[in-house]
Structure formats: structure tokens, C-alpha cells
Amino acid sequence: MSIFLGLGLTQNFSSWDQLFLDDPIQSMDDIKILSFIDVLRAISDSNFKKQNLIISTHDDNFAKLLAIKYRNKSLTQYNFIGYGLQGPLIQRV
């Protein structure tokens, strides 16, 4: 994870300022999850590089914890509800 974050934050080959993390906590225990969120917040708080951070997860508890830890930040959260006749059903929290 640290290599991915380091490469994502320092890359210069694209002007697209997005960092995507797909279920980053699947093999972490509770302490590592809290530490990981603290690292993400530290990156967000720094003026090193401003990027949009997009995290996908199936863990509702992790999503709730992120919402709590980012309550003073600009956080937009979406929940995938399911599929309908028109396609995916997504709800903004």
C-alpha cells in the first residue's frame, strides 16, 4: 500500500489528479485500519499534492469510520443499492 500511495502521489506523467483505492483494508486488522485512515487524513491535510481520493469498499463499518474521521473535510459518499432496469442504483449519503 505504501508503494502504491507513494507512486500515486508523486507521478508526473498525468495531470489527472485522482487517486483510486479499491477495498484497501481487506487484510488489515482494526489498529491498521485506524492507522491507515490517519495516514490518508495526513496526506489530505498536507499541501504536498491536492488529489481527489476515491475509495470503494464493501465494508460498511469502514465507510462509517471514514465518514466520522472526515467529518470536517469535504467528503461525498455514495452507496451502491443494486441493479434496476435502468442500470445501477446509487444513492448519495
What pLDDT is attached to residue 87? 95
Question: 3-state class of 53 per DSSP?
Answer: strand
Confidence of residue 23 (pLDDT cuts 50, 70, 90): very high
Taking residues 18-42, report their average pLDDT: 92
Distance CA 70, CA 65 (A): 8
**Residue 82 pLDDT > 90, yes or no?**
yes
Please indicate, yes or no, whether the overall pTM of this predicted structure exceeds 0.85.
no
Taking residues 40-66, report their average pLDDT: 86
Residue 83 to residues 23, 24, 50, 63, 90, Cα–Cα distance (Å) = 20, 24, 33, 21, 9
